[in-house]
Amino acid sequence: MRVLAVACTSMLFLLGETAESPEAAVQFEEAKKLFADEMYAEARAAFERSRQGASKEQREEINRWIEACRGGVEFAKVDELMNQKNWQKALKEQQRLEEKYSATALAPRLAEAYAKISDHLFYYVATFEEDPPEPEKALYPLPKSRSLNEDSRYVRRGKRSIMWRITAGSDRSERYQRLGQVDGSKLDQCSTLKLSIFYPASRGSIKLLLVMARNMDEVKTKGERFVGEGLHYVLIADKGGWNDVSIDLSKLSNSGDFAMNEVKEMGVIVLGTNTDVVYFDEVFFVRR
């Protein structure tokens, strides 16, 4: 699940020459004001009136606004669920509307709703998008073996993922990937960790060790065993394409007497010696 890039969306709906008649132009401007005030039924009626006297091309643009008005009326259900603090159902309804209306002028409001809902449901570590969550910012600047990827074949959600190239015989610093800083004090409010991993099918499978610790620089492994202090979990990407991983936090192994609230950073270590390329996308905790 990811927030849409909508900064320029509203520009898609501006008419260069709104209508051929003054009456239609006035109706169109009035309709936009009503839409901005979230008076969607009234806005739709005004847009319908502005179609009279408009050119064919202009009517196509007006039709997109009318479609957004339909979505706005349906959006009332999302507002109702958010007011009830029924975040799971609000998310489901928001995603349904996003599928139908993400290409309309309703897109910014859908994105705003998603941000509010997700803040209650999720604790994001990394998204690799243009406006990253605070924990992700600690990753930058990226070392040479990592880069942000925009090839849609290797993006699970949104527009970007992170690519990690691991070469055989590389030193330790090249064989682990930080995923972001983590505020351990928030983890007692969370039940599950989710992340997406892409590994090319032609390479078979890859084994990665997920680690949450105070400092990833101090993480220690011996062969394929974790011997440092922290919480850890073995991840195996065993099929081609995307592996959507869901980890019950209660299933994490604990090395030493390490408490969840001591976690400061999270990352993964490759186990084995193959030369591999791995992509990660969306790393987040699910709140209880």
Specify the pLDDT at position 7: 32
pLDDT tens, 2-37? Answer: 444 333 333 334 444 444 578 888 889 999 999 999
CATH number, span 127-287: 2.60.120.430
How do residues 66-117 score in pLDDT, each as one tens digit? 999 999 999 999 999 999 999 999 999 999 999 999 999 999 999 999 989 9
Query: pLDDT tens digits, residue range 188-245?
Result: 999 999 999 998 876 667 888 999 999 888 888 887 788 888 999 998 877 778 999 9
Concatenating the DSSP letter of every residue in 218-232 gives: G--EETTEE-SSEEE
Q: Alpha-carbon distance 30 to 274, whole Å?
A: 63
The C-alpha atoms of residue 108 and residue 33 are separated, in whole angstroms, by 16
Outline which parts of the chain fall under CATH 2.60.120.430: 127-287
CA distance 119 to 189: 13
- In this prediction, residue 6 carries a pLDDT of 35
